[in-house]
Amino acid sequence: MRKVISRRRLLGAAGSLAASFGVLRTRAQSADAPLRFALTPVLLTSDLVMLEELKAYLAHAMGRPVHLVSRRTYQEITALLVTRQVDAAWICGYPFVAYREELALVAVPVWRGQPLYQSYLVARASQKAESLSDLAGTVHAFSDPDSNSGYLVTCAALAEMGQSPARFFRHFFYTYGHRNVVRAVATGLAAGGSVDGYVYDVLREAEPALCAETRIVRKSELLAFPPIACPAADAQSPAIVQLRQALINMPHDPRGRAVLAMLRLDGFRDERPELFDGIANKMQLVRGVAP
Amino acid sequence: MTWHRSPLTARVSLIVTLFMVTVSAFASERVLSRLADTQERHVQPLADAYVDGLVLALVDSIIREDIWQAFDVIDRSREKSGEIRPTETIVAGPDDFVIASSHPLEIPSHVLHNSGNRCRSG
């Protein structure tokens, strides 16, 4: 964990330094500048049609062009956001709490009536495992080292047992995508995996054959859904206010409803940062355990 | 005894038939052999090109010992390999430990691969 913490501090320092020298100026302050909106694999980024529809809806609702930015890892997206190279991003709750001082909430998705979701610990269907303890000494697939559901929740459960991934699992690796975690477990590359419960449930509908090779061993408590965030310094900028309104108004617009249907979400909501305290507690718990 | 008592015409016919069968078998064997050679000459460059492409796609994963990316590359290449249908692919590091294989249940990651082949597609 020491490496992760130092990386975060480095990113934060880089952002502050750049801002203090006035090197990075948010382009979204001008009325017609494109909004640079970044996406992590918190959602099913493989759905190109959905991405195009989301982009088209936001551009229509905000009255300005929208440029979607996509990267392989959460770390890359977080770095772009903290250093203000993008105006807003759909990130995970873990980087949001890790950079709480540098970031602000724009909106939080609502799924099944709540701005909450769960992390699932999944195993191969034939794997004899009833709890996390039964997966000791096996190969484990994590989604991303900066993912709440795909890493932090399992690490926190291990920390409660005085364990860490390096000591508990025989090996572990990152797939950089929740769908990839399911693929890794289904094919037998890993005995178990940590995955976003929302993505897993959507996959169960969309790709039942893939999920049939896996089963849920453990569901976490409800935690804050991956939010849309922006740099704290831009929280009240016209572009971010427009973005927040566009997201919150999605259920009232036919194009917005179409996007929500593709995402299997009810809508977006204005929420307080305290919603993410549960994730912050897990982060503190993990930081207190030796790697 | 039977051979000497049979008519000459029958004996000649039988000899000619046996000769023709022998010649046909020899000719067929040559044709099939040449066909196999020709096919191999065509398939080998195709297989080499496939393995070369695979190696190129795997270099980064091998350097970083990225289990998922190595597996993803060989799994997708199996789905989209067209005429070439690899039966088994194993990616191992310089220390001969398996990074990923096309059949992770039979050949899991981190086991020692005895054949010594760094990237084998069979």
Which helix (H) or strand (E) segment holds residue A55: the answer is helix A48-62
The shortest CB-CB distance from A187 to any of B66, B104, B110 is to B104
User: pLDDT per residue over B97-108, tens digit each?
Assistant: 999 999 999 999
The reported pTM is 0.81
Interface confidence, given as ipTM, is: 0.79
Measure Cα distances from B68 to A218, A285, B72, B121 in Å: 23, 28, 6, 18
- What does pLDDT average to in each consecutive run of 10 residues of chain A (291 residues)? 48 50 49 87 66 94 93 92 96 96 97 97 93 96 96 97 95 94 96 96 91 96 97 94 97 95 94 97 90 75
Q: Which residues of B touch A175 (CB under 8 A)?
A: 68
A139–B108 CB contact, under 8 Å: yes
Residue A268 CA to residue A194 CA, distance in Å, equals: 25
DSSP strand pairing (B98-101 vs A66-70): unpaired
Query: Could you tell me which residues come within 8 angstroms of residue A280 by beta carbon, excluding any fewer than 6 positions away?
Result: A97, A100
Query: Could you tell me which residues come within 8 angstroms of residue A258 by beta carbon, excluding any fewer than 6 positions away?
Result: A53, A57
Architecture of domain A119-220: 3-Layer(aba) Sandwich (3.40)
Q: Which residues of A touch B110 (CB under 8 A)?
A: 139, 170-171
Strand order in the sheet with B119-121: B98-101, B89-92, B119-121
User: pLDDT per residue over B28-44, tens digit each?
Assistant: 999 999 998 888 888 88
Q: How far is B33 from chain A (nearest CA, A)?
A: 40
Beta strands in chain A (DSSP E): 35-39, 66-70, 88-90, 103-110, 116-117, 119-124, 139-142, 171-174, 192-196, 214-219, 223-224, 228-231, 267-269
Q: For residue B53, give the amino acid letter.
A: G
A184–B109 CB contact, under 8 Å: no
The CATH number fitting domain A2-115+224-287, selected from 3.40.190.10, 3.30.110.30, 3.40.50.2300, 3.40.50.20: 3.40.190.10
Say what the alpha-carbon torsion angle B74, A204, A265, A53 is, to the nearest 10 degrees: 40
B67–A189 CB contact, under 8 Å: yes
Domain assignments of chain A as residue spans, ordered by start: 2-115+224-287, 119-220
